Amino acid sequence: MAHRPVSLHAPRGSVAADAIREGIDALLADHDGGTPLSFPSEVLAAAERAAARDLSETEHIDRIEVPFVTLDPASSTDLDQAMHLERTDSGYRVLYAIADVPWFVALDGPIDREARRRGETLYLPDRRIPLHPEVLSEGAASLLPEQTTPAFVWVLDLDEAGEVRGIGLERSLIRSVEKLAYDQVQEDLDRGEGHPMMRLLQQIGALRTELEAQRGGASLNVPEQEVEVEGDLVRLRWRRPNPIEDANAQISLMTGMAAASLMLEHGAGILRTMPAAEPSAVERFRHQSRALGVPWEEGQSYGAFLRSLDWREPAHLALLNLATSLFRGASYAAFSSPQEVPEDPAQAAIAAPYAHTTAPLRRLVDRFVLMVCHDHVRGRRPAPELLAAMALIPEAMQETGARAGNLERAAIELVETAALVAWEGETFEAVVIERREASTSKDGNGGAPTRVEVQLTDPPVTAWVPMDAAAGELVRVRLESVDAGARRAAFVPADGGAS
């Protein structure tokens, strides 16, 4: 089956934006997770006061003359990161500026308490529910172009191979000179043109990707399901991230690894952890790869194996989906002394210790990592009140992350089923990405039949179908019924079954 982007111009599968908005309004009203939809008046008032703070009050280092640029989706206004990249005699220097949210948000003040209740910015198909009031997240604290803004600036010196040889962190005033957008940057680079700093980003990203492969790190190279709003219509489409986005992600990963190394060296911080996959899960995945005719050979890291897969190939797509079983158990670990450091501090998918530190406008934990790391660089023990607050962050992130994940999945299901209404009764080719054997109930009466999860291309949805087929097999399925209100669509085997 040929995988292709969903055309945004085809009306079929489009849904009126008003219908999606009404459905998500109802979803939020029924949601039992306590998602805060608006900010209390005292939080809004505190944010207004913080946004109006006089920058002359700060002792931040003046880096306003450094020509930082940002790189984000074209529509983004909550800009956490800006960069300045340069060649040096020994390799590269990366100045990576991160929004100085702590300068605006007092520890245990009203904005901080509300942020701990939210945990992260919540992204839904028709809206986002921000972590901080917009006067900060899309205004005074955002690294918008031509705006003087306080920032934490990571100073990372790299050798010719891209290895980090020096780590610094300072609080500075910066002024981004340009807001670059992923798609336009990639188009320019593909023409052999483009911003000089983006060409350097390509080089550094390639070096860091090679280092990731050497240490056994991994990522899933699959397209993203994206909700696209076009005028009054909403539809689903595939989106494959641009290569420059992968390079940009490597800069963020490198910074998170630098933060983790600082915190481990000084014995206080918060790590993003993930345990290594259980041997049984690894062996099962090896068996699945052999069964699909794409064997994962002994001695090859799973990162290298995953990088060799092409999502356009049905068997490869099935394996990429099955590989998620090796990426489970991500959590946070806070520690305030060397004795409290986790026994295995690594994030297994990255194959190194790692911390979230580059998105404080959108994620709670990053603010605390930045504060602790800055104390470490200055040779100062973090304040007791910071350490006490830091100890509470892992639980807050787990709770709010689970709530956000449930709500985001329900919202995507809403869009999927609404889009599928236009396809009811039709037959599709699909790739089997997982098979589950029939089961019986405890009393021996009834149970679940053998079923398979399939991936459709247009529309870009997955579904469970009561049929038997092997992972990676092409099958034909029919959309029997859709209940948009219940967010449920039923697929059945089409005549002919597997193709």
**What span, in angstroms and rounded, lies between the C-alpha atoms of 215 and 90?**
22
pLDDT over 50 (residue 7): no
Stretch 423-440: mean pLDDT, rounded? 86
Stretch 314-328: mean pLDDT, rounded? 82
**What span, in angstroms and rounded, lies between the C-alpha atoms of 479 and 425?**
5
Stretch 191-212: mean pLDDT, rounded? 95
Q: What is the pLDDT of residue 310?
A: 84
Quick check: 95 and 84 in contact, CB under 8 A?
yes
The one-letter amino acid code at 214 reads Q
Q: What is the pLDDT of residue 10?
A: 36
Stretch 426-454: mean pLDDT, rounded? 79
Paired strand residues for 363: 120
Helix (H, G, I), strand (E, B) or coil at 439: coil
**What span, in angstroms and rounded, lies between the C-alpha atoms of 288 and 434?**
10
**How far is C-alpha 342 from the chain's CA centre?**
24
Helix (H) or strand (E) holding 226: strand 224-230
pLDDT, tens digit, 9 for 90 and up, residues 151-163: 999 999 999 999 9
Q: What is the pLDDT of residue 1?
A: 26
First and final CA of the chain: distance in angstroms?
10
Pick the closest to residue 423 from 461, 475, 468, 465 (CA basis). Answer: 461
Q: What is the pLDDT of residue 499?
A: 45
Paired strand residues for 82: 97
What proportion of the chain, given as a percentage, has pLDDT over 90?
A: 58
Q: What is the pLDDT of residue 288?
A: 83
pLDDT over 60 (residue 176): yes
pLDDT band at residue 3 under the 50/70/90 scheme: very low
More confident residue, 238 or 357: 357
Q: What are the C-alpha distances in Å from 420 to residues 12, 26, 139, 174, 411?
A: 9, 20, 38, 47, 14
Quick check: 189 and 195 in contact, CB under 8 A?
no
Going through 308-397 in order, the beta strands assigned E by DSSP cover 331-335, 346-347, 352-353
Quick check: 198 and 180 in contact, CB under 8 A?
yes
Q: What is the pLDDT of residue 13?
A: 67
pLDDT over 80 (residue 5): no
**What span, in angstroms and rounded, lies between the C-alpha atoms of 371 and 360?**
11
Phi, psi for residue 421 in degrees, rounded to 5: -55, -40
pLDDT, tens digit, 9 for 90 and up, residues 481-493: 998 888 889 999 9
pLDDT, tens digit, 9 for 90 and up, residues 108-122: 999 999 999 999 999
pTM for the model stands at 0.89
**What span, in angstroms and rounded, lies between the C-alpha atoms of 372 and 359?**
15
Q: Which two structure tokens, joined as six digits, stand for 139?
A: 């205004």
Q: What is the pLDDT of residue 132?
A: 98
Q: What angle do CA 273, 288, 1 make, to 5 degrees?
A: 105
Q: What is the pLDDT of residue 177?
A: 97
Q: Which two structure tokens, joined as six digits, stand for 445?
A: 């009466």
User: Across the chain, what does the average pLDDT equal?
Assistant: 89
Q: What is the pLDDT of residue 23?
A: 87
Q: What is the pLDDT of residue 199?
A: 97
pLDDT, tens digit, 9 for 90 and up, residues 252-310: 999 999 999 999 999 999 999 999 888 888 888 888 888 788 899 888 888 888 888 88
228-232, 310-314, 416-420: segment of lowest average pLDDT: 228-232
pLDDT over 80 (residue 68): yes
